Amino acid sequence: MRYDFANILFAGPCNARCPFCIGRQIDPRLSVNNLHEFPPRNLDRFIEPIQVHAIKQVVFTGTTTDPQLYRHEARLLDHLRQRLSPGTQISLHTNGRLALKKIDVFNQYDRVCVSFPTFHAATYEKMMGVHGVPDLAQIVDRARIPVKVSCVVNEHNRAELSDFLEHCQAIGLKRLVLRRLYGDQRSWPLPAQLQPLSHYRGNPVYAYHGLEVTLWNFDRCECHSLNLFSDGTISTSYLLTSAYRNE
Ligand code: SF4
């Protein structure tokens, strides 16, 4: 088996309450609160296959929480840098709500994907379940590493897509992924200014005035991951039932 990446999955209370949270779809026994545990359970057993299979990307992500809420985030990064081979990249998948407060740790990753669905406060609250839109312009400005935005598109923000692209491009973002939730077969009209560019893992990639836009469809996803759940379970299936998530 060739693995594209290895996910370290954190669990615990989140600083957002997304109605589509993946934590609601998986067996709760897999998502025990590990925000205070160092190291995460079974980390040594998880590092072995990363080395055996020469997996080149390790991702800090979550089933029910944001990885930047993990109390030992910087310590675990240091630990993995010492244990993994030098070419291994470590990336963060975050909702961005703590990015500016923890910008020093944020910049210790090799790259970051921020889940960010809208610049509008009312839409943000509908999609993320909490007040307060993170300042994406500041995050992009203060990042010293590549930042990609992952935007779920649904009935709440689909009408904003053109404005969203324009705003993302204006703040200097270089990569954007537009994605539907797993199983959502609804289609939405693409902004007219998108120019077809290429394909990535079966998904179309477009150009928008210097911004690279990927339309990510999990039904077409050709990725294989190795996953460390917060209870110590190691699995090649992300959801163990069905999957949706950041690329
Ligand atoms: S940010 Fe992620 S973990 Fe938190 S509620 Fe939203 S989907 Fe769930």
- The predicted model scores a pTM of 0.94
- Whether 242 is covered by a domain: the verdict is no
For the beta sheet containing 203-208, the strands, ordered from the edge strand earlier in sequence to the opposite edge, are 195-200, 203-208, 211-216, 175-179, 147-152, 111-115, 89-94, 57-62, 5-10, 225-228, 234-235
Domain membership of residue 241 (yes or no) is no
The band of 1, judged by pLDDT with boundaries at 50, 70 and 90, is confident
CA distance 8 to 238: 11
Give a yes or no: residue 55 inside a domain.
Answer: yes
119-135 pLDDT per residue, tens:
999 999 999 999 999 99
* pLDDT score, position 221: 60
> What is the whole-number distance in angstroms between the Cα of residue 191 and the centre of ligand 1?
27
Asked whether residue 104 is assigned to any structural domain, the reply reads: yes
Confidence of residue 219 (pLDDT cuts 50, 70, 90): low
Ligand 1 centroid, distance to 65 Cα (angstroms): 6
Q: 139 with 96: CB under 8 angstroms? A: yes
Residue 151 domain-assigned?
yes
Per-residue pLDDT at 232: 96
Residues with CB under 6 A from ligand 1: 14, 16-18, 21-23, 62, 64-66, 95
Angstrom distance (rounded) from CA 125 to CA 18: 9
Neighbours of 80 (CB within 10 A): 18
Quote the distance between the C-alpha of residue 244 and its chain's center: 11
Range of the domain at 218: 5-235
In a domain, 28, yes or no: yes
The answer to whether residue 245 sits within a structural domain is: no
The total number of structural domains in the chain stands at 1
Ligand 1, residue 64: give the atom nearest the CA.
Answer: 3
Ligand 1 midpoint to CA 145 (Å): 23
90 inside domain: yes
Residue 21, domain CATH: 3.20.20.70
Q: How confident is the model over 160-202, as pLDDT tens digits?
A: 999 999 999 999 999 999 998 877 888 788 888 899 899 988 8
> Given a cut of 60, is residue 243 above it in pLDDT?
no
- Most informative mutation of 25, 61, 66 for ligand 1 (most atoms within 8 A of CB): 66
State the distance from the centre of ligand 1 to the C-alpha of 23, rounded, in angstroms: 8
